[in-house]
Structure 1
Amino acid sequence: MATDFKTAQPAEYYRQFLKQDVRPDGRELGEIRSTILNVGSITTADGSALVKLGNTTVICGIKAEFTTPKAEEPKQGFIVPNVDLPPLCSSSFKPGPPSEQAQVVSQLIADVIESAKVVDLETLCIQEEKLCWVLFCDMMCLDYDGNIADACMIALIAALKNVMLPSVSIDSDTGLATVSDTKTEALNVKAHPVATTFAVFDDTIIIADPTNEEETMVTGMVTLVVNEDNQLCAVHKPGGSPLSAEQLQDCINRAITRANEVRQLIDETGSSVDR
């Protein structure tokens, strides 16, 4: 009977739970799903991490390559994030060019990397105007069950902290680069921003960490990215129901708590990995 009710009137089915300050999966409205992190799982990458947020699973692999610095930024390297939502993670996604959602999350992460100054890009420069590192950060969703932005952000930061690069020396006479056989230089990750996504149901009820099913029924969403100083370094709200000042402050407080939990998880997991 409950299954029929859910199929026929999914929104009303949810309302019956939300009236009791609980969700169908048993979580409280502001409760985040369990988060599992594994670091260094891709041995062929220069850094990697796998995150499981509830059933949403994302793997991030980072590959470092040589390139020439931009003319306007001759002392800096690059970080290029890319989010992939392939058909294998959900039937909602089709083969072909990146979906709009994948592009939006990729841009959000690129903005956060820049605004939070996650890595000092000058440390990626090997020789001014001539040679630098570019870090291709590919995040692939293996199983999609909502809230892809939060999972990707965790995977990215954990993978960046796992990056090891070989030392590079430049011959002053020939200008040729010599790369060491072993990777001995860890990437200096200066900031650890954490994203927390909230959804608005029926224009008034705020829930944290929405599942795929919940995302299809909510009337608005907002992603808050918090840095180590408990300051917002990014806010992404693609339209939908507005939040009152009180609601927004409550979300910020929850995001700060969540950010501290995630940073602790990243530190504990990363410290247990042999490089």
Structure 2
Amino acid sequence: MRYSISQVAKASGVSARMLRHYDAIGLLKPSSVGTNGYRWYGRGELLRLQRILLLRRFGLGLAEIGAVLGERAGEAAALRGHLAQLEEERRRLDRVITTVEETVADLDAARIDDPGRFFAGLREDAAEMRQAYRETFGEGAGKAFDVAEAAQEGLTAADYEHAAAQGAALFRRLASVMRSGAAPSDPAALDVVAEHYASVSHFWQPTAAAYAAMGGLYERDPRQRDLAARADPELPAWLARAIEAYARERLVPPVGKT
């Protein structure tokens, strides 16, 4: 069975002009050419064209395709290489998709239907937390809540949603490091805890001892424990140890230095 150039063009989606170009460069020769100049293709040529189109889809140029088709083993090696590239690209896209999905979930979870009730709850929680921090860490921590409350004046529900989403994202990064197998004192863990410390330091710069004690709240205080546990049920205990390690490793000055 043989097929004309127009039939092959229609079946493959490759223009007749491109098929003639493939013939001119020796990439795809027709099985025969009639006395009238008509090109005819058989099953072998169709299979070769199929491989050409597949290799082009994987990003190979025509010269490279010609070299690959000249040695069948080379075709398999080229396909394996491009398959690896595609799989890595798929993994990259999966990571991007996961990040976007998690961000959307954070924003949905932080959405406020009744801003009045939400702010009232924050005020009650803030009063309780201020007193707890004052009793545990001293007057400086209590004053930090006053500074934080003053900074919150004029914030909208959207502002609070954004802050909640940022906090959830930080806990998610911490959980990711934990799930990677990092110990609480590993540098990778301390680097992410540094983000937590920076957020706390925006309103109050705790001493090493106070920051380590604050980490303990992720195990003892139900509200703080719940914030971390939303990212991973095992995060509160791990985070408490990581904060303690951060205070010891990065906040306490070395002996002989102040």
TM normalised by structure 1 equals 0.25
The structure with the larger Rg is 2
Structure possessing the higher relative contact order (Cα contacts under 8 Å, 6 or more residues apart): 1
TM normalised by structure 2 equals 0.26
